[in-house]
């Protein structure tokens, strides 16, 4: 019995030591325009909805997106977005950002080309490039947040320890 418990403890320790951060993209239908439509979601830990919203809008504009506007105050829309790793044809991108109720935010996005929303049901190979894109965005957001924190810390240090006025040396 003692050996079984030791083996179980060793297995649990191995599983915990190999655990990776939770960068998981989920494909599932979400409510959009009064119907359930296939979407992709990612939980961005440590980011506020405002941080995610600004970074995602910048990302869409860098990808050629035009006219980001709200549809209903919660879901936003952007047209002419190009993601070459997914398709050479531009997308209409719908997105929603909301708090996860803890220390992060969810980004849910719908990708539409023509009359169809991107889905593994219509294109079984679609998930991997979308997943990689959203995970890459999460790393980019993490870098932005680290930079923002560093800038805030530098400003706090300047406020606490202002430079001494120059020319006040009594030498």
157-162 mean pLDDT: 86
**pLDDT tens-digit readout, 59-112:** 999 999 988 999 888 999 999 999 999 999 999 999 999 997 888 899 999 999
143-169 mean pLDDT: 81
Q: Which residues contact 109 (CB under 8 A, 6 or more apart)?
A: 39, 40, 41, 93, 94, 95, 96, 134
In a domain, 165, yes or no: no
In a domain, 55, yes or no: yes
In a domain, 1, yes or no: no
In the chain, the number of structural domains is 1
In a domain, 162, yes or no: no
**pLDDT computed for residue 163 by the predictor:** 79
**pLDDT computed for residue 22 by the predictor:** 54
This prediction has a pTM of 0.76
In a domain, 93, yes or no: yes
pLDDT > 70? residue 115: yes
pLDDT > 80? residue 132: yes
**pLDDT computed for residue 52 by the predictor:** 94
Residue with tokens 């894109």: 133
**pLDDT tens-digit readout, 16-51:** 333 344 568 999 999 998 899 999 999 998 899 999
Which is higher by pLDDT, 14 or 147? 147
In a domain, 110, yes or no: yes
Distance CA 27, CA 8 (A): 33
Q: Which residues contact 123 (CB under 8 A, 6 or more apart)?
A: none
Q: In the structure encoding, which two tokens stand for residue 83, read together? A: 């993601």
pLDDT band at 117 (very low <50, low <70, confident <90, very high): very high
pLDDT > 70? residue 167: no
Query: Which structural domain range is residue 72 located in?
Result: 20-149
Q: Radius of gyration (Cα) for the chain, nearest Å? A: 22
Q: In the structure encoding, which two tokens stand for residue 165, read together? A: 């006025």
CATH number of the domain that 49 lies in?
3.30.310.80
Residue with tokens 């405002």: 50
Residue 41: C-alpha distances to residues 44, 97, 154, 157, 171 (Å): 10, 10, 34, 38, 64
In a domain, 113, yes or no: yes
**pLDDT computed for residue 3 by the predictor:** 55
In a domain, 81, yes or no: yes
């Amino acid at each position: 019995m003692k050996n079984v418990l030791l083996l179980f403890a060793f297995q649990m320790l191995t599983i915990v030591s190999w655990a990776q951060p939770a960068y998981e993209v989920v494909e599932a239908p979400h409510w959009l325009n009064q119907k359930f439509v296939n979407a992709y979601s990612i939980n961005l830990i440590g980011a506020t909805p405002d941080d995610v919203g600004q970074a995602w809008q910048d990302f869409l504009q860098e990808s050629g997106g035009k006219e980001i506007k709200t549809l209903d105050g919660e879901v936003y829309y952007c047209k002419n977005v190009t993601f070459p790793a997914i398709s050479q044809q531009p997308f209409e991108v719908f997105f929603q950002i909301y708090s996860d109720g803890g220390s992060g935010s969810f980004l849910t996005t719908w990708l539409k080309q023509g009359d169809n929303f991107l889905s593994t049901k219509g294109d079984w190979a679609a998930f991997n490039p979308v997943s990689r894109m959203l995970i890459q965005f999460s790393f980019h957001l993490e870098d932005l947040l680290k930079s923002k924190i560093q800038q805030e810390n530098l400003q706090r240090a300047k406020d606490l320890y202002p430079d001494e006025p120059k020319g006040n040396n009594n030498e």
